[in-house]
Amino acid sequence: MASADEEIRDDASKASPALGLRDYKKRRMRLEIERQALRLVIEHGYDQVTVEDICSAAEISKKTFFNYFPSKIAALMGFRNLPDAEEIVALLEGRQGDGDYFDVVARLMGSRMSLDDDDDVTRLRAEVMRLVPQLFFHGQKELFSAHGVLVQAVGGYLERHPQERILEDLSPEREAFIASSAAIDIARIQAMMQACGGERCEVGDARRLLAAYLDPQGHVRP
């Protein structure tokens, strides 16, 4: 069996050739679950598909599904590896000089959403987002706990680096709150632009878009 396994592994794992069999199967399983989930939702609609349906299609138990994804929506949206407080703080503390800290945060959030190494799954996901746009808003529990983490992490950072605040009149906690809301918004706008139009929307573009939208004449700071 070893050589057959080897062969399949070489075929499918384009990006990471030196993967162990365990990790290879894990990755393949994750993609299979995502693929089946997306396919079923495209065919039958979000509410018509249960987690157990997805499990049957992917030929796994329900528990295994929830070993891979924290929720039904996570499997569809491809949220994974959402950063924890430590990672965010490390990134902020170690960042280079270009742009303000919000760029880092917004970029981080964007980089963790819907980033797929499988073209097939990426295509299906874009289709689901077009067909069921409510998913952007319905399934944000993950983003929200991410938001909580963000507030914590950014708040702590700003407390230690008060000169980095963008809004000097505001307390660090409050600015952290705004930062997190805006970061998630921008990630959402990026995802929407990409899902609807296909072309890539950079963090800076999304930020400028939202800023221009909120203050079209630019007279917030005269």
Binding site for DNA (CB under 7 A): 20-26, 29, 50-52, 59-64, 66-68, 70-73, 141
State yes or no: residue 73 binds a second copy (CB under 8 A).
no
State yes or no: residue 213 binds a second copy (CB under 8 A).
yes
Distance CA 36, CA 13 (A): 19
State yes or no: residue 103 binds a second copy (CB under 8 A).
no
Q: Are 75 and 54 in contact (CB under 8 A)?
A: yes
Q: How far is the CB of 39 from DNA (least distance, A)?
A: 16
State yes or no: residue 177 binds a second copy (CB under 8 A).
yes
Which single residue is written with the structure tokens 């794992």?
A: 13
The Cβ of residue 162 has, within 10 Å, a number of other Cβ atoms equal to 11
Q: How far is the CB of 124 from DNA (least distance, A)?
A: 18
The Cβ of residue 141 has, within 10 Å, a number of other Cβ atoms equal to 13
State yes or no: residue 85 binds a second copy (CB under 8 A).
no
Q: Are 195 and 122 in contact (CB under 8 A)?
A: no
Complex with DNA: residue 46 or 102, whichever CB lies closer: 46
Paired tokens of 79: 């949220």
Complex with a second copy: residue 115 or 166, whichever CB lies closer: 166
